[in-house]
Amino acid sequence: MCTASNYITKKHYFGRNFDYEISYNEKVTIAPRNYKFDFKLIDSIDSHYAMIGVAAGVDAYPLYYDACNENGLSIAGLNFAGNAKYLDEKKGMINITPFEFIPYLLGNFSTVTEVKEALKNINLVNINFSDELPLSPLHWMISDESGAIVVEPMEDGLKVYDNPVGVLTNNPPFDKQMFSLNDYRSLSNKNPENTFSDSFDLDEYSRGMGAIGLPGDLSSSSRFAKVAFTRANSYSGDSEEESVSQFFHILGSVEQQNGCTFIADPDLYEYTIYTSCYNTADSVLYYRTYNNSQITAVKLMSEDLDSGDLIHYKLITDEQISFIN
Ligand SMILES: C[C@H](CCC(=O)NCCS(=O)(=O)O)[C@H]1CC[C@H]2[C@@H]3[C@H](O)C[C@@H]4C[C@H](O)CC[C@]4(C)[C@H]3C[C@H](O)[C@]12C
């Protein structure tokens, strides 16, 4: 399971929890403007917007999970098992594969509005990256300072939804997730009045009673409601530090602790391998990993963005503890 969210203070922040049971040796990967992107069915792109993101540790191609470009457009791919459907090549369309989707969009476009227009002509084709790395069933949240959309590849083509709650998890499809939020419309960050009955008193015995009924389990529909509530009620100052800190707390509300989501014997559990947070205005990627609570930052703009070679930074995964005596 995974969760993506955006958060707006003075700037736009975007990121995700990467929840899974295995790692593909993820690396922070920068594709500078002149890195040549090859595509399976369309012409290569020799020059494009620079981008920074987290990608699988495969040297041959930046297989991004989530990324942001130098103009503030950001994307994350999340599992969409049982629903994602990739199609055959279609004449007259721009045929790209799902693993090319992030490079193609971030390389060519600056805003969600531009992406929405481009999506009308995009067909996601069913071609594997390799025999060892076949396609995964994904859907995507795409976000910039103006708002967010969700793109879901279904049997009858790409579905594009505006995303007013600014979050995405896995299943069910986004329209169903949005509908299920109706069930929680009475929840609040304030303690509720007693409307149960006029005939007897009920006590306000605790703070936080306005959110009783908000799910706390780790299923994707429960995480959707939990993170939507947390994000919608988030309050922080608007400095960089306060915004980034609050962002990690939003996604922390749906973090998966190792051991709580069993996958297989022996001892294989899904857990939050990393959390990313992009300040998309300044193209900075902040991240934390399961065993490293310290925030690490990588700045796209500190690199030579006119080069043609990928730049990789291994994730720092060991805990960094600040001993003070
Ligand atoms: C599994 C990842 C999504 C995490 C997630 O949503 N977990 C929830 C799982 S579940 O609903 O609870 O089952 C997805 C996100 C991006 C995916 C990767 C990227 O698409 C890049 C390549 C694409 C290749 O085709 C396959 C390997 C791969 C390296 C993908 C492996 C895997 O499917 C990733 C890492």
| Residues 6 or more apart in contact with residue 9 via CB below 8 angstroms | 236, 237, 238, 242, 243, 246
Ligand 1 centroid to Cα of residue 132, in Å, is 14
Structure-token pair, residue 131: 């025999």
Q: Tell me: domain 3-175+237-314, CATH 3.60.60.10, correct?
A: yes
pLDDT at 59: 75
Backbone angles phi, psi at 85, to 5 degrees: -135, 120
How many CA atoms lie within 13 Å of 22's alpha carbon, on the beta-carbon side?
A: 5
The pLDDT of residue 218 is above 90: yes
pLDDT of 156 strictly over 90? no
- Determine whether the shortest distance from the Cβ of 150 to ligand 1 is under 6 A: no
- Cβ contact 7:246 at 8 Å: yes
Output the pLDDT for position 58.
84
Q: Which two tokens stand for residue 234?
A: 């988030």
For the beta carbon of residue 4, count every other beta carbon within 10 angstroms: 30
Q: What is the pLDDT of residue 91?
A: 96
CB 159 within 8 A of CB 101: no
Residue nearest to atom 7 of ligand 1 (CA): 1
| Residue at 142: amino acid letter | I
Does residue 23's CB lie within 6 angstroms of at least one atom of ligand 1?
no
Which of 22, 63, 105 to mutate to test ligand 1, by most ligand atoms within 8 A of the CB atom?
A: 63
- CB atoms near residue 101 (< 10 Å): 20
Q: Report which of 105, 34, 38, 96 is spatially closest to residue 68, judged by C-alpha positions.
A: 105
Q: Which residues are catalytic?
A: 2
Pairing of strands 271-279, 292-299: unpaired
Q: What confidence tens digit (pLDDT) does each residue in 16-71 have? A: 999 999 999 999 999 999 999 999 999 999 999 999 999 998 877 999 999 999 99
Q: Which atom of ligand 1 is nearest to the CA of 1?
A: 8
Q: Which amino acid, 289?
A: T
Task: Tell which atom from ligand 1 comes closest to the C-alpha of 134.
Answer: 25
- DSSP-assigned letter for residue 98: H
In short, whether 58's Cβ falls inside 6 Å of ligand 1 is no
Structure confidence by residue, pLDDT tens digits, 247-306: 999 999 999 999 999 999 999 999 999 999 999 999 999 999 999 999 999 999 999 999
Q: Where are the domains of the chain?
A: 3-175+237-314
Percent of the chain with pLDDT over 70: 100
Asked if residues 74 and 143 have their Cβ atoms less than 8 Å apart, the reply is yes
d(Cα 325, Cα 48) in Å, to the nearest integer? 50
Any atom of ligand 1 within 6 Å of the Cβ of 135? yes
Task: Specify the pLDDT at position 1.
Answer: 66
118 close to 142: Cβ distance less than 8 angstroms: no
